[in-house]
């Protein structure tokens, strides 16, 4: 498989599972999502990629540095944003989701912390852990799909402000991810270019991207 065919394969999967086209995103943008569905968005997303993102990416850095110094540096940059909001000058992404939950939805933080997410969200969380621990060479699969979440956040931000009367101060989770996840998508591509040197690596990476994308999409389905 030459590099052109490989990247075409990556783009096909990213387009097929572009979360910006998920029905939940469309419902929020059009003002048709119920409060329960919006609440479920926070619960499922908290489990899938938010609660553990800082510790997981820190583990990824430790595992990556044994493999490639440049890749480890890229993961360190991602950690700085996920854990502290260093690049967007906002806050850690878990803190921003708490902010949306409390100020936007008017719910107690403890309820989100103790929420019980779907089996699909739990599977996505487990796969996130697997990629940054035992399969760190392919961890760029996570970043490739983040461009779609940037699109989703842009649409949801518009809908939540327009139809649900939520202030911009309570929606920094969404506005911050518009920028941050575009950057993370580029990081994913850089990890691919740095780490995948053989045809077998590229074939395996395509499978990892599809596994990640399917699990993530199912987690969003659980929001409905």
Q: To the nearest whole number, what is the mean pLDDT of the chain?
A: 90
Q: What is the pLDDT along the chain (224 residues), one digit of tens a residue?
A: 788 899 999 999 999 999 999 999 999 999 999 999 999 999 999 999 899 988 898 899 999 999 998 888 888 777 776 766 555 556 678 899 999 999 999 999 999 999 999 999 999 999 999 999 999 999 989 888 878 898 999 999 999 999 999 999 999 999 988 876 556 556 667 778 888 989 999 999 999 999 999 999 999 999 99
Neighbours of 197 (CB within 10 A): 10
Could you give the percent of the chain with pLDDT greater than 70?
91
CA angle 27, 164, 21 (to 5 degrees): 25
Q: 196 in helix, strand or coil? A: coil
pTM higher than the cut 0.85: yes
Domains, the chain, with CATH or none: 3-221 (1.20.910.10)
C-alpha dihedral, 25 to 27 to 30 to 31, nearest 10°:
-120
Q: Which tens digit of pLDDT belongs to each residue from 50-81? A: 999 888 988 999 999 999 988 888 887 777 76
First to last CA, the chain: 38
């Amino acid at each position: 498989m030459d590099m052109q065919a490989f990247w075409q394969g990556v783009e096909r999967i990213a387009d097929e599972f572009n979360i910006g086209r998920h029905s939940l995103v469309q419902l929020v943008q059009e003002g048709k999502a119920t409060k329960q569905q919006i609440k479920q968005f926070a619960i499922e997303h908290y489990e899938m990629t938010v609660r553990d993102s800082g510790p997981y990416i820190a583990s990824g850095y430790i595992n990556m540095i044994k493999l490639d110094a440049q890749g480890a540096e890229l993961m360190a940059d991602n950690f700085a944003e996920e854990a502290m909001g260093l690049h967007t000058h906002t806050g850690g992404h878990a803190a921003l989701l708490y902010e949306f939950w409390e100020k936007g939805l008017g719910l107690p933080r403890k309820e989100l912390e103790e929420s019980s997410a779907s089996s699909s969200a739990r599977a996505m969380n487990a796969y996130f852990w697997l990629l940054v621990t035992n399969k760190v060479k392919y961890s760029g699969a996570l970043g490739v799909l983040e461009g779609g979440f940037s699109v989703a956040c842009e649409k949801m931000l518009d809908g939540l402000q327009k139809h649900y009367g939520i202030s911009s101060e309570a929606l920094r989770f969404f506005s911050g991810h518009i920028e941050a996840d575009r950057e993370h998508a580029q990081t994913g591509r850089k990890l691919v270019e740095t780490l995948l040197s053989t045809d077998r690596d590229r074939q395996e990476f395509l499978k990892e991207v599809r596994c990640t994308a399917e699990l993530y999409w199912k987690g969003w389905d659980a929001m409905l």
